[in-house]
Structure 1
């Protein structure tokens, strides 16, 4: 294990060396631009939340000129918001939510569109891009946010330009590239409650004429806000002794730009990130009303439906969501290497763009899945992921037409294991061996996924005020799955439960996918003047099919179908001539075909298809009522319906104490219980993480103090009641809550020194970041951090 203090000192030393280094030559950067990655447009001197330039349509445009529901923040704005993690952007993005537990897996949710599945081999319906390259693994989405140029969040299907798995939208992180000629950089340190501490820095500039470089890094430690607590030490019911909820992460990014000719620029990236022995994988146990057999009360679909909040799962007493009673210590180890080459070549009136990306990721994760000091569920995964992608794009314009065409290739390979110990696999042992001692199931898989696509989009100016955008993308998936699951139990020989070949023998082709489909976009845009844009659009989004890897599924359910989303939007972007008031609003209606719904079915994570509908709206307001006072308000409204979601049907669990009686839907079959539930489906469910209403807010006031500038800021978000799972069980309801953050900062007159005091979730709101309904075994949850506070100091060159 790497010594944390030593690593911290090495990080500090490296940044100090970087900031003391001098380039060969430094010149003025005023003439240098970064094609396709335009920086934030300058804001007014006291308006830190001014307009920015985005590339949502793969070309630089003012945000107010893009006929898409989009939110974007520059790096300076993110700094003022105190955002240092890729997942923290959600509070200031209307209709955006997050499902996350530890750094292991992060799932973004836009307008209720997500796939709250924790399995490593699936892709999400909200595509995540970093520096114009797609990240195909949900394991690689979470990470540290540092030295960032901007973040763009596009709501609604974006498949025409961004690919087949952008059904719900796109989250795009754009790092600070090697665009500057002048030497520049910074070093920043932060310390907060729960001993959370971080150190980051960057340096960049011109080395020689036509060659620029930039190096940045970040180290983050601590923050374990969930504390180990014993249940009954006298009787041996002790926790793992592990505090969880924090991080132990290091990230490095190096990039260079070379002007080969005045018209040809090559940009190279290398990125590395590491999470090392992160203490994680523990949950709260909640909403359980105990039956006579020791199990939790469930509804007729086999879903835990008790009230009561967090409890000690052994004693039944009330407990804090920040107590860890788990008996098994979890961990996360993850390494990611990314190499990327971007080429931009101007060929007269046409520009050629090439983006080549190679990503490799390794992960080892273990969790205590029950939230108890006894071993009921232990779950572990390993994954090795490799990705190669290549995009070629031509763009240009002549007269009233702007256009782009291109092709894309993606090759993803995932090899992994899943190990499940305890209650979820007792049924497997009983079915095969007639008894269960200490069963565990090891699942091994190898997924090869290849995709190619061709696309084109054009914008034609019909009149000076009216334009038409039309786009089309054809995408072809070719996938194969090799799978085997093996049961091991003390006193019995190992036995094979299922393989992809057994499923294919019952349903030919079950382990292969070859599917082509198209994404489309049509948008009519009316812009009578500089300050008004009204648009109406139709988008067809697509997401590929995949598999449910579990020995308990049938051949018909082993593979689930692709999903298709038809989106209709009406939007407006309005501003006053002085730009002190800007309003962006969008109304949308979704029609889903074969929506991929995730649920725990009989203790097994599974995906099934169903039709769905949703209608909603978002609004964003930026207002500067007087000098030095800036306000941002956002809100969303949504209603949704998923026609049918498969429920458990049946679940088998251990006999928790000798002679436990039958209770509710469960019958003692000798050493175990077999529970059969009358309702096989949940009908007319709501999307998960889709509250009826939400509101985000920010108020910032700048003022002169001493020789510098001070600022006080209040920001946060309020969310209406919502379901955290598509099964809509009572135990997965998250009540309405509000999270408020505050900060006080000061900047010296030279803008080289900043210091800020900050507080996050200052009123200590308790709310869940993740919930999983385990049926008779109860509900486990992971709570977001409580109130925290700290200080940050930044020194710039």
Structure 2
């Protein structure tokens, strides 16, 4: 019988795209009660029928089987979820969930989708990308989490839960090799250290190249080496449960080379190629360059000297104690440190737009939560504090190739940025879950957040003619205090069918966008205000009497106020991006999942996300005007389908999986620019696992099986380069893996 399945874990919504471990369903098939599936969407273990949060629950073993390596790739398992590396791997990722997201290159950005690793919030953008290894589960909470996960989670939250230490000696090792010179080693060792103490050490190492072939002399297609470890220690001490966590990550490599696609069919007349022609060899940029080959994954980019190096580590201490039979308390203290150097190229073969992203980040948080169980009521209340410091050492180097040309020597400029940001947030929250009758349950929650960001922005300007210290030097503070919360009802129509009705108010704080400004006026205009999201949601969950068929549905409508929007102002030759409050947007859509088990050894699953309305609010600044356009990175349709079957051949287990993820067309910017559009595409995946013995498995796997061509990013660089800068997705990859458990 299969033990891994895809379901949506929430009374609110549907499951999508990610198998999880269920209790023995065959044993419950004839029971009239709903089987129990534990989720942690409300900060404690609960039956999914008792929570009013839309959750996609993904089993940690399935993540390994799909060869998913980091949080960005989780989006392939969740409906209406899109993620990408904003400026190539090694930079901050961009997440969009149900149309709510933040696309920005800037390391000072705070995403509206937060990541919680063992209940510690991610903080700023630098902490969003974590490696997926040795996880028990992942829960993706869809929709505003304005009470229990209230800091800047207007879009949702991703909960990563590590495998905890156990009181027996055990572990595993996995080795994988694949195309693109891809190698991976994973493992974990679990060891008891006494009657009440145990430790678990897990590691992940991977070394891989990208699909791109780079024809520029002295450069290659880039690649990354990543090494991570995690040490967990659990113990019982004087009535307290203790969990200590230490983790570290080290990255080094060369960024993925960009693809600079000229837009002119005739440079002299300025006649443009059509959007479909851009990327072909007869289209040129402002300098007469065309792409070097008709092969989709071949480029010419001056990236031989570009590098990425990231070092991070952190620790946390979780203490929990039962104060009485009905009251318990949990304390979580965390510290993280992050340092990154990332040099990048945005122009292809020239030296026209290049730069450096340098970050020195420190983070501290403290949270105390109380849980109080009453006969028909449950209370969760807490206090939260966060302090985060970011020091940026960024550079923007414009038109360096012109420095050697006397007639053009006045054009090049290099901006050297030294920015400091200090973010402090405090919150108090409480949530009550009240059983009104045998059929109705009420959830009511409220959170008060006080947040402030202090910033000091400083920049020098280097030209051929002069070096100007302190081209600008300014300081300021952005602060706000806001209420958020939730009101929801769960209605049980019968033991196999329930509905939920939910209203949530989400909030994301204001701040300072310490990006690539090119004048004091632009730097002074980089503060932005909070955004607010009012979300209404209706959901249904149903299963058949024999438990072979599940159907779950969520309908949602979002009312955005003062929506924070990343705007690429493309009218000047110097890149200028602002993060501004773009008015009142609207989002409406649904998510639905069907999961069918015709036999104990077979499962079929179909999940659908649909967002027909994703309207961007109005933004006006100078010559820039945006209104009534579709939200970037928001496809109208997402679809996931899969089949999994377990067979027995010659008394050995054979497990095979085959599936697809489809997303319809998206725009990469706020203008609905046809040149910055990615048509719909489907990525197919598969796996064939052969259980050689009880502790040894050999597996063949594949990603993008049909070699689909798609772009992860298209960016308007026409004013400066006469081109659209692209990052292209990965080609087909086939691999083999050997796993050993002890």
Same fold (TM over 0.5): yes
| Correspondence 1:619 to 2:592 | yes
1:423 and 1:530 map into 2 onto residues whose CA distance is: 67
Cα distance change on mapping 1:204 and 1:289 into 2, 3 Å = same
Secondary structure at 1:352 match in 2: strand
**Of residues 688, 696, 700 in structure 2, which corresponds to 1:757?**
700
| Stretches of structure 2 lacking an aligned partner (at least 5 in a row) | 1-19, 29-34
Say whether 1:250 aligns with 2:235: no
When residues 143 and 156 of structure 1 are mapped into structure 2, their CA distance, relative to the original with a 3 A threshold, is same
Q: CA deviation at 1:377?
A: 0.5
Distance 1:646 1:448 in 2: 29
Q: Which residue of 1 aligns with 2:625?
A: 681
Q: Cα deviation per residue 1:666-697 (whole Å; 9 max; x = unaligned)?
A: xxxxxxxxxxxxx5212211111111111111
Q: CA 1:275–1:163 in 2, change beyond 3 Å: closer, same or farther? A: same
Match of 2:247 in 1: 271
Aligned residue for 1:78, secondary structure, equals: helix
Structure 2 residue aligned with 1:488, among 435, 454, 462? 462
Contact 2:257 2:345 in 1 (8 A): yes
Q: Which moved more, 1:288-297 or 1:386-395?
A: 288-297
Distance in structure 2 (CA, Å) of the matches to 1:158 and 1:683? 28
Choose which of 187, 201, 218 in structure 1 pairs with 2:173.
187
* Alignment partner, residue 318 of structure 2: 342
Deviation at 1:53, TM superposition (A): 2.0
2:365 is matched with which residue: 376, 386, 389? 389
The correspondence for 1:106, drawn from 93, 102, 112, is 93
Shift of the 749–493 alpha-carbon distance from structure 1 to 2, 3 Å rule, reads closer
Please point out which of 606, 614, 619 is paired with 2:578.
Answer: 606
How far apart, CA to CA, are the structure 2 residues paired with 1:457 and 1:425?
A: 59
Whole-Å separation in 2 of the counterparts to 1:80 and 1:688: 31
Q: CA deviation at 1:623?
A: 1.5
Secondary structure of 2:525's match? helix
What aligned pairs does 1:128-139 form with structure 2 within 5 A after superposition?
128-139=115-126
CA distance in 2, matches of 1:285, 1:363: 26
Cα offset for 1:44? 4.7
Query: Which of 681, 687, 700 pairs up with 1:737?
Result: 681
Task: Provide Cα deviations, 1:586-625, integer angstroms capped at 9, x if missing partner.
Answer: 1011110111110221421211111211111011222112
User: Could you say what the CA RMSD is over the residues aligned between the two structures, in angstroms?
Assistant: 2.5
Instruction: Please tell me whether the aligned partners of residues 272 and 338 of structure 1 are also in contact (alpha carbons under 8 angstroms).
Output: yes
Q: In structure 1, what is the equivalent of residue 258 of structure 2?
A: 283
Write the distance in 2 (CA, Å) between the matches of 1:283 and 1:634.
33
Map of 1:538 onto structure 2: 503
Contact persistence 2:518–2:576 (CA under 8 A): no
Secondary structure of the residue that 2:647 maps to in structure 1? strand
2:11 alignment counterpart: none
The residue number in structure 1 matching 2:709 is 766
TM-score between the two structures when normalised by the length of structure 2: 0.89
- Whether 2:80 is the aligned partner of 1:68: answer no
Within 5 Å, which residues of 2 pair with 1:359-370? 359-370=336-347
Aligned equivalents of 2:548 and 2:474: distance in 1?
A: 60
Which residue is 1:653 aligned to?
A: none
The verdict on how the C-alpha distance between 1:80 and 1:453 changes in structure 2, with shifts beyond 3 A counting, is same
* Contact 2:410 2:465 (C-alpha < 8 Å) held by counterparts: no
User: In structure 2, which of residues 85, 103, 107 is the aligned counterpart of residue 120 of structure 1?
Assistant: 107
Determine the structure 1 residue equivalent to 2:436. 462
Aligned length: 694
1:295 positional shift: 7.4
Contact 2:25 2:547 in 1 (8 A): no
Distance in 1 between the 2:397 and 2:269 partners?
Answer: 20
1:696-750 deviation digits (Å, cap 9, x = unpaired): 1111111001222101111121111111222321111110100000111112452
- C-alpha spacing 1:142/1:207, structure 2 compared with 1 (3 Å): same
Q: Which residue of 2 aligns with 1:42?
A: 23
SS in 2 for 1:326: coil
User: Out of 152, 169, 175, which is 1:165 matched to?
Assistant: 152
Q: After TM superposition, give the deviation of residue 455 of structure 1 in Å.
A: 0.2
Give the equivalent residue in structure 2 for 1:792: 737
Q: Which residue of 2 aligns with 1:597?
A: 565
Matched, 1:728 2:702: no
CA separation in 1, counterparts of 2:444 and 2:271? 53
Moved more, 212-221 or 531-540: 531-540
Which of 153, 174, 180 aligns to 2:161? It is 174
Mapped to 2, the partners of 1:722 and 1:285 lie a distance apart of 20
How far apart are residue 498 of structure 1 and its match? 2.2
Q: Is the 8 A contact 1:41 1:53 kept in 2?
A: no
CA distance in 1, matches of 2:271, 2:64: 45
| 8 Å Cα contact 1:485/1:551 also seen in 2 | no
Match of 1:442 in 2: 416
**Is structure 2 residue 219 aligned with structure 1 residue 241?**
yes
Contact 1:767–1:783, Cα closer than 8 Å, also in 2: yes
Secondary structure of the residue that 2:260 maps to in structure 1? strand
1:512 equivalenced with 2:477 (yes/no) = yes
- Please show how residues 634-653 of structure 1 align to structure 2 within 5 Å: 634-638=607-611, 639-646=613-620
Asked if 2 retains the 8 angstrom alpha-carbon contact of 1:533 and 1:572, the reply is yes
Report the CA distance shift for 1:791/1:296 in structure 2 as closer, same or farther (over 3 A): farther
8 Å contact from structure 1 (residues 289, 306) kept in 2: no
Partner of 1:440, secondary structure, is strand
Distance 1:454 1:291 in 2: 61
Distance 2:191 2:424 in 1: 38
Residue number among 23, 28, 40 corresponding to 1:55 in the alignment: 40
Q: Distance in 2 between matches of 1:393 and 1:533?
A: 29
1:308 to 266, 277, 287: 277
Are the aligned partners of 2:197 and 2:233 in contact in 1 as well (CA < 8 Å)? yes
Contact 2:90 2:342 in 1 (8 A): no
Q: Higher mean Cα deviation, 705-714 or 123-132?
A: 705-714
Structure 1: gaps spanning 5 or more residues = 1-38, 231-237, 298-303, 427-432, 502-510, 650-678
Which stretch shifts more, 629-638 or 306-315?
306-315
Q: For residue 14 of structure 2, what is the aligned residue in structure 1?
A: none
Counterparts of 1:344-423 in structure 2 under 5 Å?
344-348=320-324, 349-371=326-348, 373-423=349-399
Q: Taking structure 1 as reference, are residues 441 and 479 closer, same or farther at Cα in structure 2, changes over 3 Å only? A: same
In the alignment, which residue of structure 2 is the partner of 1:562? 530
**CA offsets 1:176-196 (integer angstroms, 9 cap, x no match):** 111x11211100000000110
What residue number does 1:91 align with? 76
Q: Quote how far apart the aligned CAs of 1:435 are.
A: 6.6
**C-alpha contact (below 8 Å) 1:52/1:74 kept by paired residues:** no
CA drift of 1:43 comes to 4.4
State how 1:145-224 maps to structure 2 within 5 Å. 145-178=132-165, 180-224=166-210
Give the corresponding residue for 2:4: none
User: Does structure 1 retain, via aligned residues, the 8 Å contact 2:262–2:289?
Assistant: no
State the alpha-carbon separation in 2 of the partners of residues 424 and 350 from structure 1.
65
| Residues 455-495 of structure 1, C-alpha deviations (whole Å, 9 max, x = no match) | 00010000011011000000001211001121101222325
* 2:603 corresponds to 1:630: yes
Matched residue SS, 1:161: coil
**Is the contact made by 1:284 and 1:321 (CA closer than 8 Å) also made in structure 2?**
no
Provide the C-alpha distance between the structure 1 equivalents of 2:468 and 2:265, rounded to a whole number of angstroms: 34
State the shift of 1:425 in Å: 13
